[in-house]
Amino acid sequence: MTAVALIFAAIASALHVLFFKLESFSWRQPSTWKTFGLASQEDADTTASLAYNQGFYNLFLAVGAATGIAIILASDTHDTIGWTLIVFACGSMLAAALVLISTGRSYARAATIQGGPALVAVIASLVAST
């Protein structure tokens, strides 16, 4: 179960690095703002500072999960700190996905992409760490 937890935590982390890139650096590009459901360049320009900030939240969660993975891989035993970081970071990703879906059914796909790997990582981590 450890391998499953680490693989899905890595997937969740990589996705959140991608979200960071899109929100913090590519937000004003039409392909990006259209992906996020914005209607115009003006909307993208208006929301750019919010997206920039949100992108960094995603980066911080990704770093937390990646650090937890690194600690576990470097440890001879199941390291409590590593598992705690993974469960906290991926649990936060999952919670954010639940908040996203609570804003409307049209966000179900995005919430599944954001929260699916995190959910598997949390469950597998809790099993593997016991």
Per-residue pLDDT at 5 exceeds 70: yes
Report the alpha-carbon distance of residue 122 to residue 130 in Å, rounded. Answer: 13
In the prediction, which pLDDT does 31 show? 96
Provide the number of structural domains found in the chain: 1
SS3 per residue for 63-76: HHHHHHHHHHHHCC
Q: pLDDT tens across 105-116, in order?
A: 999 999 999 999
Q: pLDDT tens across 44-78, in order?
A: 999 999 999 999 999 999 999 999 999 999 987 66
Domain holding 86, by residue range, is: 2-128
- The DSSP letter of residue 83 is H
**Residues listed for the chain:** 130
Per-residue pLDDT at 37 exceeds 80: yes
pTM above 0.75, yes or no: yes
